[in-house]
Amino acid sequence: MQIVIQPNADAVAEYGADQFSRLLSKKPDAVLGLATGSTPVALYQKLIGRYQAGELSFAKATSFNLDEYLGLSPEHPQSYRYFMQQQLFDLIDIAPEHTHVPPGNAADPITACHDYETRIEAAGGIDLQLLGIGRNGHIGFNEPSSGLRSRTRVKTLTQATIHDNARFFTEGEYQPHLSITMGIGTILDARKVLLLATGEAKADAVKAMVEGPLSAACPASALQLHQHAVVVLDEAAASKLADLEFYRHIERENQLLLQRLGKS
């Protein structure tokens, strides 16, 4: 894992946006794996800004989102499809038919999960998968105890996740307890993975992911198996890492090497 520690959440978003910009300039028809939650919003705003400034185009890109609530239609304001339209898709030049979010209203969710995998494969696989992390270490909606080689499937949410995400729902509003999520195996198949975490509330999960054992108890720890996983943290999210200075040292060395190679 490459651990990148940035001074604040804005710098985390900037670093993440640079990863997308670099990929799209090299490969305009890249396949992007996207995420919801509050963490990626700042990154999406930067991508929108770069698109508006004419620096970036998504016209040839394809996207696949990680997950969706089961039982919500795409028009539902709490659905992840709606979130993506509002936060990104409606504000950039990506072709609507190139955007994919698991169908929360599928009549046959099991078949829909299988189809989602088939579509990712048909698109040539994901080039860059963006991730946040839940306080319990979940990625997508792969909750603790998820199979480390799991594929897209229906998952039951933990009470902790339902509680954490309750802030997006108004009182008395139906909040789903089930989801469709890419599996951990699906995420590990992406050619590059970019996980962003900000704020002290994520510090324990980050520590378990980076320095804990590889374990289904912390689904994000599966990224230890990935050949190209970049974890971008602000100071608060990194604050519980034991080897903080070592990670900073490696990153400084990486930057020097890139400078020497003329790639920074």
Would you tell me which residues interact with ligand GLP (CB under 6 A)? 35-39, 66-67, 132-134, 140-141, 161, 165
Q: Using the minimum distance from each CB to ligand GLP, give the nearer residue, 160 or 250.
A: 160
Give the DSSP letter of residue 104: T
Q: Using the minimum distance from each CB to ligand GLP, give the nearer residue, 53 or 194.
A: 194
CB of 66 to ligand GLP, least distance (A): 5
* Spatial contact of 136 and 160, defined as CB atoms under 8 Å apart: yes
* Spatial contact of 237 and 197, defined as CB atoms under 8 Å apart: yes
CB of 131 to ligand GLP, least distance (A): 6
Distance, CA of 264 to CA of 192 (rounded, Å): 18
CB of 220 to ligand GLP, least distance (A): 9
Q: Using the minimum distance from each CB to ligand GLP, give the nearer residue, 185 or 248.
A: 185
CB of 118 to ligand GLP, least distance (A): 22
Distance, CA of 41 to CA of 17 (rounded, Å): 11
Q: In Å, how far are 69, 87, 193 from 20, measured between CA atoms?
A: 26, 16, 11
CB of 257 to ligand GLP, least distance (A): 31
Give the DSSP letter of residue 200: G
Q: Using the minimum distance from each CB to ligand GLP, give the nearer residue, 23 or 139.
A: 139
Give the DSSP letter of residue 261: T
* Spatial contact of 148 and 130, defined as CB atoms under 8 Å apart: no
Q: E strand or H helix at 24, and its extent?
A: helix 9-26
* 62: CB partners within 8 A, 6+ apart: 29, 30, 31, 32, 98, 99, 100, 123
Q: Using the minimum distance from each CB to ligand GLP, give the nearer residue, 41 or 216.
A: 41
- Catalytic residue ranges: 67, 136, 138, 143
